[in-house]
Amino acid sequence: MTRPDGRSYDQLRPISFQHGIAPHATGSVLVSFGNTRVICAATIQEDIPRWMKMQKVGGGWLTAEYNMLPYSTLDRKARDITRGKIDGRSSEIQRLIGRSLRAVVDLKALGHRTVWLDCDVLQADGGTRTASITGGCVAVAIALNKLIAEGKLRTFPMKKLISGISAGIFQNEAILDLDYPEDKHASVDFNVVMTEDHEFVEVQGSGEEAVFSSEQMDAMLDLARKGVSEITELQKQAILDADQASPGDLASLVDAINH
């Protein structure tokens, strides 16, 4: 089988992280999966949500917002503000991003703080939610590392790295990291969120007017594991390249993410 862009069935698109893309955020990256490009910016607020205060919940909080910019798609996408509310898809995706990152961040260790993770899609070519989770993890790690460098945190609150990747059935074959033409014509589409240790955080999968076998599902999950292993190494390098910490703090971070 030949994929539209010439990749092999188990090959990721070119992935890159450009850190410092949003200078006023505590940590930020422009993550690219091929032609899908998302700005992920983590901002630390020295406060917690009102509901946590009311319920006397200890620790901090992490929440996410997701937005596709009007020019990110072939046809202009209207801003949510023009409709007066966020659309259902964006709401579902930002909840996914938030709970994915909360799964690997020790909120007690974060302290009396809120991490706001903003994911803005510059260009959409398939996999914007998984790219947002992958880039968001790097942005949050950079932000937390900066707090350590400033002496506001003693320990790194992120327990493990996390990433998201898509897999699917295209032309009757299991493939990894679908771009838009593949996603549009895939008979099955999976979005997998997984830690660096291959623990599942969330799996979203459905047949597009089709069914799939347990063997096909296993094949897609195996591809997802392979993709996450490769992505994790890129994430680690991106965090180190951000160079936000002093040498001592940086060594601690390397030890933390490599166990």
Can you name the residues that pair with 173 across neighbouring β-strands?
A: 170
Sheet containing 114-123, strands listed edge to edge, beginning at the edge strand earlier in sequence = 15-19, 27-33, 36-45, 114-123, 61-68
Residue 6, judged by CB atoms within 10 A of its CB (0-12, 13-18, 19+), counts as exposed
Q: Determine which helix (DSSP H) or strand (DSSP E) holds 235, and give its type and residue range.
A: helix 214-242
Is 50 annotated among the ligand-binding residues? no
Is 134 annotated among the ligand-binding residues? no
Is 129 annotated among the ligand-binding residues? yes
Please state the φ and ψ torsions of residue 83, each to the nearest 5 degrees. Answer: -95, -10
- The CA distances from residue 205 to 50, 212, 213, in Å, are 35, 10, 12
Is 127 annotated among the ligand-binding residues? yes
Annotation: binding site: 89, 127-129
Annotation: binding site for phosphate: 89, 127-129
